[in-house]
């Protein structure tokens, strides 16, 4: 059974989210610790997906303006990938902020994942933490 929880900086949900980020971004993708942690953690809503009570995926949402949210740190632990968990988590984040536009910086391999969820790529490829990215935007249903 999948459950999605929301947390905030410093609470136990955040700790579980950060443990997943550590495993995926720092250990698997070699992102430097100093880049993985940033000030957005303090204001973000942190989403945690549990499968049968096991922390398995995370993402965070930060308001950039009243109607624009930036999603980042989208990560599913390796053994749980390819089962629809990332998609379920993203939809939960979208549903948590109805009527809001979303933006994110997508690693190139994940473009099809986000495109399926209504995001469109904008602009050129750029480097973030040594990984090629593109900016993507998802307009809310009311403005699409």
Instruction: Please report how many Cα atoms fall inside a 13 Å half-sphere around the Cα of residue 104, on the Cβ side.
Output: 24
**What is the rounded CA–CA span in Å between residue 134 and residue 112?**
12
Cβ–Cβ < 8 Å for 34, 22: no
According to the binding rule CB under 6 A, does residue 23 interact with ligand COA? Answer: no
The tokens describing 105, both together, are 């910086």
Of 19, 50, 96, 110, which lies in the binding site for ligand COA, with binding defined by CB under 6 A? 110
Q: Which of 37, 67, 116, 120 touches ligand COA (CB under 6 A)?
A: 116
Residue 127 touches ligand COA, criterion: CB under 6 A = no
Task: Report the candidate in 48, 45, 50 with the shortest Cα–Cα distance to residue 96.
Answer: 45
Structural tokens at position 35 = 């880049």
Minimum CB distance to ligand COA, residue 30 (Å): 12
Q: What part of residues 48-107 is at the interface with ligand COA (CB under 6 A)?
A: 74-76, 81-87, 106-107
- Minimum CB separation from ligand COA for residue 77, in Å? 8
Residues forming contacts to ligand COA in the complex (CB under 6 A) are: 24, 74-76, 81-87, 106-107, 109-110, 112-113, 116
């Amino acid at each position: 059974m999948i459950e999605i929880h929301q947390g905030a900086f410093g609470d136990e949900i955040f700790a579980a989210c950060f443990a997943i980020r550590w495993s995926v971004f720092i250990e698997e993708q070699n992102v430097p610790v100093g880049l993985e942690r940033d000030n957005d953690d303090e204001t973000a809503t942190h989403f945690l997906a549990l499968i049968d009570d096991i922390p398995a995926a995370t993402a965070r949402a930060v308001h950039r303006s009243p109607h624009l949210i930036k999603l980042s740190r989208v990560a599913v632990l390796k053994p749980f990938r390819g089962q629809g968990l990332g998609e379920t988590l993203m939809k939960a984040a979208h549903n948590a902020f109805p009527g809001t536009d979303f933006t994110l910086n997508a690693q190139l391999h994940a473009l099809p994942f986000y495109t399926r969820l209504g995001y469109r790529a904008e602009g050129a490829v750029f480097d973030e933490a040594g990984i090629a990215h593109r900016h993507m935007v998802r307009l809310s249903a009311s403005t699409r």
